């Protein structure tokens, strides 16, 4: 399996998933709290922070980096994938590209237009940054073969890490996602959302998921656990 790093955080040699804290409100205060709770990496959700210009984004990243010294993932999520970006697609993509020099990784949706997605991926790779290509289904858990294809499509699109989040309707759905995770030959982040899949945010690490996302205060995704809860249980388990 080809492994990757996010800044200095080694996803190859650490036996448990890196805990990523979602920064979605009061960013500087939340980032400091995330570090105190044990977060390994910060995900800066520009769409939830109402950051719309590259200058404001750069100022914020510099402040967060200075305050925490933690690796940062830039995310500016599409509304169709659970985000709240309300500007133009050109503005959304432009912000991600303009901020690349200051962050350590970027998350771009598989469902984004191929041309704009390619611009982000190639810009990130040219800058030596880690690329996460993500896919979210808030309604269901697709069949095993479809989930495998989605992950393959993420890698074909240039992902260093393929992220797949789905909504389970049964425990079998959760088991199917874990099976897909276990079968992957490349780095993935897999999440079964909601209360039914809450434990997947912990146990998916046992099957090869290299990242797990936690909240600092309010959850930004269904079933999300708090960073310190994730960290404690992962350390006990692994």
Catalogue the active-site residues: 136, 163
Q: Confirm if 134 and 154 have CB atoms less than 8 A apart.
A: yes
Q: Confirm if 72 and 64 have CB atoms less than 8 A apart.
A: yes
Q: Which residues contact 210 (CB under 8 A, 6 or more apart)?
A: 3, 4, 11, 17, 18, 161, 187, 188, 189
Q: What is the rounded distance in angstroms from the CA atom of residue 107 to the CA atom of residue 10?
A: 18
Q: How distant, in Å, are the alpha carbons of 93, 105, 127, 147, 159 from that of 113?
A: 10, 20, 21, 20, 15
* Residue that has been written with the tokens 């959302």 in this structure: 193
Q: Which residues contact 10 (CB under 8 A, 6 or more apart)?
A: 3
Q: What is the rounded distance in angstroms from the CA atom of residue 71 to the CA atom of residue 57?
A: 15
Instruction: Give the pair of three-digit tokens for residue 3.
Output: 């492994």
Q: What is the rounded distance in angstroms from the CA atom of residue 180 to the CA atom of residue 204?
A: 10
Q: What is the rounded distance in angstroms from the CA atom of residue 157 to the CA atom of residue 152?
A: 9
Q: Is the dihedral of CA 95, 34, 111, 162 positive or negative?
A: positive
């Amino acid at each position: 399996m080809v492994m990757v790093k996010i800044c200095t955080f080694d996803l190859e040699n650490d036996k448990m998933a890196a805990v990523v804290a979602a920064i979605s409100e009061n960013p500087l205060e939340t980032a400091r709290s995330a570090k105190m709770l044990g977060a390994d990496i910060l995900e800066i959700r520009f769409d939830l922070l109402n950051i719309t210009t590259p200058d404001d984004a750069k100022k914020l990243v510099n402040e967060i980096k200075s305050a925490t010294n933690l690796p940062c993932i830039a995310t500016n999520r599409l509304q169709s994938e659970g985000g709240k970006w309300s500007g133009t697609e050109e503005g959304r993509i432009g912000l991600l590209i303009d901020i690349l020099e200051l962050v350590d990784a970027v998350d771009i949706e598989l469902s984004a237009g191929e041309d704009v997605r390619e611009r982000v991926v190639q810009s990130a790779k040219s800058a030596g940054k880690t690329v996460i290509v993500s896919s979210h289904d808030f309604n269901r858990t697709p069949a095993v073969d479809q989930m495998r294809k989605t992950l393959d499509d993420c890698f074909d699109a240039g992902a260093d890490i393929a992220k797949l989040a789905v909504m389970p309707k049964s425990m079998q759905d959760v088991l199917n996602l874990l099976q897909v995770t276990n079968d992957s030959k490349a780095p993935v982040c897999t999440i079964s959302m909601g209360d039914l899949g809450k434990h997947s945010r912990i146990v998916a690490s046992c099957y090869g998921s290299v990242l797990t996302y936690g909240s600092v205060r309010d959850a930004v995704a269904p079933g999300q656990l708090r960073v310190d809860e994730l960290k404690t249980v992962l350390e006990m388990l692994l």
